[in-house]
């Protein structure tokens, strides 16, 4: 086992899911397993968590195929965009299509009818991301088309995605549109209204709406109960991380990741000697420099140079000198730090938020960038 590895606490993930479920019931929970389960390692997370999830969400069809090849039987929604030529994979692997355009829905229907194979789809409505999906003001044609699909196409769901659901309504959000911050829940509420407009098209035609209406990502799961409908789609929250700092902690979740390593070299350096590429840090006195075998190729961002800290033997030490591709150095001062000593890079009090701040990014990017070179060790795994 490589000394640098990621410990993933599977029972903690299950606990997070249970706490989310208790909060949103009776709504169902789609667990988002895209991007290698937000870096946690989908090969360990998926088999453990799938039995407890109502639905699984992935971004791309390849992620869905990977899960099916692992033997996962839970329904899987491919939430992102799909090319026509990828449609056969949805039939072969029993994946749910996000019908994000009239053309795509039509192509899926034609393929279903000609091959006499079944496919499930969720209509994807774009209410304010301008990314993938049919805008609310052009949704009528999509709905009309969905109502005349062949018996092989099941219109199981309809959904949209928020652009700004994770920021608390700030005081003064009743200000005029020109002066109020754009990132409060006013934008998300507007998106919700647009989604409701689309749903009302079903009422107008006296047609039942699809059984699974869903909109809520982590931010909306925390802040907008009116957005739950039939199912929620928490990603980062399931992994124990709040999507923003200022949100009241109404759902109890904890991170499941601990990034560990061991000291690979330890030396006492002299006053004035500089450490690592670019000589960005010099010893101002005789001091112990410990080398940790983890670098930016592992996802420990180079731009965090001279800003981070690690825990060795229960004590916090600053990272010094340019972070290298495969290693970084730590200033252990006068302490006796030995080769082989355990190092915590994230966890044990170092939060994903702290790393995100050091790197000038968000927790999502920190977690999803931990590279494939870092082995994942799954705690509490069913054997």
Ligand X SMILES: *Cc1c(COP(=O)(O)O)cnc(C)c1O
Which of 23, 28, 233, 262 is the binder for ligand X (CB under 6 A)? 233
Residues of span 32-71 touching ligand X by CB under 6 A: 32, 34, 59
Q: Which is nearer to ligand X, 104 or 283 (CB)?
A: 104
Task: Please state the φ and ψ torsions of residue 44, each to the nearest 5 degrees.
Answer: -95, -40
Cβ-based nearer residue to ligand X, 60 or 377: 60
346-365 residues near ligand X, rule: CB under 6 A: none
The DSSP symbol for 7 reads E
**Which of 133, 210, 243, 299 is the binder for ligand X (CB under 6 A)?**
243
Distance of alpha carbon 191 from alpha carbon 179, whole angstroms = 20
Gyration radius of the chain over CA positions = 24
Q: Which is nearer to ligand X, 109 or 363 (CB)?
A: 363
The single residue among 41, 64, 75, 234 that binds ligand X, judged by CB under 6 A, is 234
Nearer to ligand X, 40 or 233 (CB): 233
CB nearer ligand X, residue 234 or residue 240: 234
5 binds ligand X (CB under 6 A): no
218 binds ligand X (CB under 6 A): yes
- Helix-, strand-, coil-residue percentages of the chain, each rounded to 5: 35, 25, 45
Q: Given 73, 267, 277, 315, which residue is catalytic?
A: 277
Which one, 59 or 199, has the nearer CB to ligand X? 59
Q: How far is CA 352 from the centre of its chain?
A: 13
Nearest approach, Cβ of residue 83 and ligand X (Å): 18
Question: Which of 161, 194, 260, 262 forms a contact with ligand X (CB under 6 A)?
Answer: 161
List of residues 6+ apart from 290 with CB closer than 8 A: 263, 265, 266, 312, 317, 329, 330, 332, 337, 341, 343
Query: Considering the complex, what minimum distance in angstroms separates the CB of residue 309 from ligand X?
Result: 26
Residue closest to ligand X, measured at CB: 235
Query: 6 — phi, psi (to 5°)?
Result: -115, 125
User: In the window 77-116, what residues touch ligand X (CB under 6 A)?
Assistant: 79
Using the rule CB under 6 A, give the single segment among 150-158, 227-235, 300-308, 322-330 that binds ligand X: 227-235
Specify whether 277 is catalytic.
yes
Grouping H, G, I as helix, E, B as strand and the rest as coil, residue 26 is: coil
Distance CA 358, CA 336 (A): 27
Q: Smallest gap, in angstroms, from Cβ of residue 359 to ligand X?
A: 18
Q: How far apart are CA 255 and CA 363, in angstroms?
A: 11
Helical residues (DSSP H) of the chain, grouped into ranges? 10-24, 34-38, 42-49, 61-69, 87-92, 102-115, 139-147, 185-204, 218-223, 352-359, 363-368
d(CA 46, CA 54): 13
Residue 129 CB, nearest approach to ligand X (Å): 9
Of 34, 239, 242, 300, catalytic: 34
Report how far residue 59's alpha carbon sits from residue 71's, in angstroms, rounded to the nearest whole number.
19
Known catalytic residues are: 34, 277
User: Where along the sequence are the contacts to ligand X (CB under 6 A)?
Assistant: 32, 34, 59, 79, 161, 217-218, 233-237, 243
């Amino acid at each position: 086992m490589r000394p640098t590895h990621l410990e993933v606490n599977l029972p903690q993930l299950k606990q997070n899911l249970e706490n989310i479920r208790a909060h949103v019931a009776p709504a169902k929970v789609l667990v988002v397993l895209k991007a290698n389960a937000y870096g946690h390692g989908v090969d360990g997370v998926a088999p453990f968590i799938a039995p407890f999830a109502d639905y699984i969400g992935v971004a791309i069809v390849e992620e869905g195929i990977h899960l099916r090849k692992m033997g996962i039987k839970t329904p899987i929604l491919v939430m992102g965009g799909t090319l026509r030529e990828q449609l056969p994979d949805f039939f072969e692997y029993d994946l749910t299509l996000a019908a994000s355009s009239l053309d795509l829905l039509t192509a899926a229907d034609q393929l279903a009818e000609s091959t006499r194979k079944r496919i499930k789809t969720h209509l994807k409505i774009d209410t304010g991301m301008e990314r993938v999906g049919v805008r609310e003001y052009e949704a009528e044609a999509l709905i009309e088309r969905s109502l005349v699909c062949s018996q092989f196409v099941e219109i199981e769901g309809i959904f949209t995605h928020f652009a700004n659901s994770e920021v608390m309504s700030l005081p003064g959000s009743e200000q005029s549109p020109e002066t109020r911050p754009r990132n409060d829940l006013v934008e998300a509420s507007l998106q919700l209204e647009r989604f409701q407009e689309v749903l009302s098209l079903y009422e107008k035609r006296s047609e039942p709406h699809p059984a699974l209406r869903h909109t809520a990502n982590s931010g909306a799961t925390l802040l907008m109960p009116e957005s739950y409908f039939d199912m929620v789609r928490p990603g980062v929250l399931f992994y124990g991380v709040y999507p923003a700092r200022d949100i009241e902690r109404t759902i109890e979740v904890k991170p499941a990741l601990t990034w560990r390593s061991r000291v690979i070299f330890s030396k006492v350096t002299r006053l004035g000697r500089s450490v690592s590429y670019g000589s960005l840090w010099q010893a101002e006195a005789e001091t112990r420099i410990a080398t940790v075998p983890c670098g930016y190729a592992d996802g420990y961002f180079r731009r965090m140079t001279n800003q981070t800290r690690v825990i060795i033997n229960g004590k916090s030490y600053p990272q010094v000198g340019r972070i290298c591709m495969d290693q970084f150095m730590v200033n252990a001062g006068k302490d006796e730090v030995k080769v082989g000593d355990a190092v915590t890079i994230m966890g044990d009090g170092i939060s994903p938020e702290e790393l995100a701040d050091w790197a000038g990014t968000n927790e999502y990017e920190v977690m999803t960038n931990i590279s494939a070179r870092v082995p994942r060790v799954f705690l509490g795994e069913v054997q």
